Amino acid sequence: MKHILITGGSSGIGLAIAKKLMEEGNRKVISLSRSQEKIERALFTHPEMEGEVDFITGDVSKAGDCQKVAGYLKDRYGKLDGLVNNAGMLTAGGIHDIDYELWKANLDINLNAPYLLTQMMLPLLKASGNASVVNISSVASRIPGRSIAYSVSKAGLDMITEFLAGELGPYQIRVNAVNPGLVETPLHLDSKVVDDESMYREMLAKSAGKYPIGRIGKPEDIAQMVCFLLSEKASWVTGSIIRVDGGSSVFNEILKRKNR
């Protein structure tokens, strides 16, 4: 039985990863997130997860909560075969908009938490003998996106990925990042990047035209890649930063105008 911890498994991309892993079988998925209400919503839409996915509550940006989770996993499961650092926060804006407190909050969740959690999980990951860490970054790590704090935190997460792949390879711990393009999840509405549902729909429709594949992403598109990286099929893949973005990073406005 493989034991896999996902941060933020109660919503969006994390929920799709938890569901796919559960369906693959022979995996115990543990999800760590804050809101009990979101967990109940997830179980309402996916009743098959009840009793199968171990939803626990805690805040990844609090060292004490991460420590508790490490203790819980050690006592209950004894090892960890997969860690998906997925929980994230997005505050839109540049230096005129994001004050220092918000800057720190974004970095705490998106950058410091994956570092801290990976560090705290090391004894359990080493005990696996064949472990995989997947960091959910973003295409915004390589281009300034909607938020300075978000882009900087994800750029740092890419470097954590590359650094740790080199450091932890000898312990048979692989470390990779998946960098999604725009994916339809509650993130943008919850983070107030858009004011309301109609503004969100407009943003999705406008963005779709910039994806060569012709649509924005679904959480399942990302889950497929994450599950591959967690599996033994990816046993020689480490230190990779993998864009899963419908080609948005290579979109070419001039070609689009020429061809249509």
Residue numbers annotated as active site: 150
Task: Tell which residue, 163, 167, 127, 136, has the closest CA to residue 229.
Answer: 136
Question: Are the C-beta atoms of 167 and 240 separated by less than 8 Å?
Answer: no
Q: Rounded to whole angstroms, how far apart are CA atoms 161 and 112?
A: 13
One-letter amino acid at 258 equals K
**Can you tell me which of 180, 221, 223, 243 binds ligand NAP, judged by CB under 6 A?**
180
Within 197-256, the residues that bind ligand NAP by CB under 6 A are none
DSSP letter assigned to residue 173: E
Q: Which stretch binds ligand NAP (CB under 6 A): 68-76, 177-185, 224-232, 251-259?
A: 177-185
The CA-atom distances, in angstroms, between 104 and each of 78, 113, 155 are: 33, 12, 15
Nearest-5° Cα angle at 31, 26 to 37: 130
**Can you tell me which of 8, 82, 114, 246 binds ligand NAP, judged by CB under 6 A?**
8
Q: Given the complex with ligand NAP, which of 130 and 224 has the nearer CB atom?
A: 224
- 80 scored as a contact of ligand NAP (CB under 6 A): no
Q: Given the complex with ligand NAP, which of 127 and 184 has the nearer CB atom?
A: 184
Q: Given the complex with ligand NAP, which of 57 and 172 has the nearer CB atom?
A: 57
3 state SS of 2: strand
**Can you tell me which of 106, 147, 185, 238 binds ligand NAP, judged by CB under 6 A?**
185
Q: Rounded to whole angstroms, how far apart are CA atoms 20 and 111?
A: 25
φ and ψ of 215, to 5 deg: -155, 160
- 89 scored as a contact of ligand NAP (CB under 6 A): yes
Query: From the CB of 72, what's the least distance to ligand NAP, in Å?
Result: 15
- 141 scored as a contact of ligand NAP (CB under 6 A): no
**Can you tell me which of 73, 125, 148, 183 binds ligand NAP, judged by CB under 6 A?**
183
Q: Which stretch binds ligand NAP (CB under 6 A): 76-84, 163-171, 183-191, 252-260?
A: 183-191
DSSP letter assigned to residue 186: T
**Can you tell me which of 3, 38, 174, 243 binds ligand NAP, judged by CB under 6 A?**
38
Q: Rounded to whole angstroms, how far apart are CA atoms 226 and 133?
A: 10
Number of residues engaging ligand NAP in binding (CB under 6 A): 29
Q: Given the complex with ligand NAP, which of 172 and 249 has the nearer CB atom?
A: 249
**Can you tell me which of 2, 4, 5, 13 binds ligand NAP, judged by CB under 6 A?**
13
Question: Are the C-beta atoms of 158 and 109 separated by less than 8 Å?
Answer: no
Q: Which stretch binds ligand NAP (CB under 6 A): 17-25, 82-90, 202-210, 248-256?
A: 82-90
Q: Is 214 left (phi over 0), alpha (psi -120 to 50) or beta?
A: left
